[in-house]
């Protein structure tokens, strides 16, 4: 695809049309049984990305609900992940570094200071956040190290990532420390449509 004036308007004012203030996405996991449904919603402070993923990872079975809230610049302000890994209950509350965490008894985690983005490793939903925050033009590239929630530890690790926009809706993506490289195809709002070998959107 080639860049055009419509794409440029979208980049300057993402999702400014009220009719696009809410979107729902549904993905199939390609490397193991599983599905994920997610909703992007405009809220007063910015955007909310919330969903549920149900999947098998090795011998473990997960059901995880998540919410990531970002500000107007698509910077993560808070996130939650709750559900189960087999019979083990999960209830995580994540905040940027330096911000007070949740209530007594909650398992609270802070993002590393060098990471603006949170990457939930079990869903393609959070790639949308980095794509929207970077606002790359075709031909541009940027490094975007993320705080990656890994399985099965459910702990944050720093994940080096690079995005290069090579088409209106195509990004060359690389995460070298986990050995992944692929061409991500995204929708008009930046949600992943095709994540080679990992996920694909379901109509």
Instruction: Indicate the domain borders of the chain.
Output: 5-201
The average confidence (pLDDT) of the chain is: 87
pLDDT for 8 equals 34
pTM comes to 0.85
More confident residue, 5 or 90: 90
pLDDT the model gives residue 108: 76
User: Does 41 sit behind a cis peptide bond, omega within 30 degrees of 0 on the bond before it?
Assistant: no
| pLDDT higher than 50, residue 43 | yes
Output the pLDDT for position 97.
Answer: 73
Given a cut of 90, whether residue 185 has pLDDT beyond it is yes
Residue 13 has pLDDT above 80, yes or no: no
Q: 190, exposed or middle or buried, with CB in 10 Å at 0-12, 13-18, 19+?
A: buried
pLDDT of residue 114 exceeding 90, the answer is no
pLDDT over 80 at 90, yes or no? yes
């Amino acid at each position: 695809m080639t860049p055009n004036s419509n794409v440029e308007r979208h980049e300057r004012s993402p999702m400014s049309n009220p009719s696009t203030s809410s979107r729902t996405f549904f993905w199939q996991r390609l490397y193991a049984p599983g599905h994920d449904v997610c909703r992007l919603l405009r809220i007063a402070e910015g955007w909310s990305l919330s969903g549920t993923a149900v999947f098998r990872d090795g011998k473990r079975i997960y059901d995880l609900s998540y919410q990531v809230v970002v500000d107007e610049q698509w910077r993560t302000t808070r996130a939650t992940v709750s559900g189960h890994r087999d019979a083990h209950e999960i209830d995580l509350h994540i905040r940027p570094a330096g911000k007070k965490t949740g209530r007594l008894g909650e398992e609270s985690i802070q993002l590393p200071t060098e990471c603006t983005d949170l990457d939930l490793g079990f869903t393609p939903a959070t790639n949308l956040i980095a794509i929207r925050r970077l606002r790359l033009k075709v031909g541009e590239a940027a490094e975007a190290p993320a705080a990656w929630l890994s399985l099965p530890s459910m702990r944050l690790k720093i994940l080096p990532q690079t995005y290069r926009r090579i088409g209106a809706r195509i990004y060359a993506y690389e995460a070298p420390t986990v050995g992944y490289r692929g061409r991500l195809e995204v929708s008009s709002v930046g949600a992943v449509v095709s994540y080679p070998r990992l996920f694909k959107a379901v109509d």
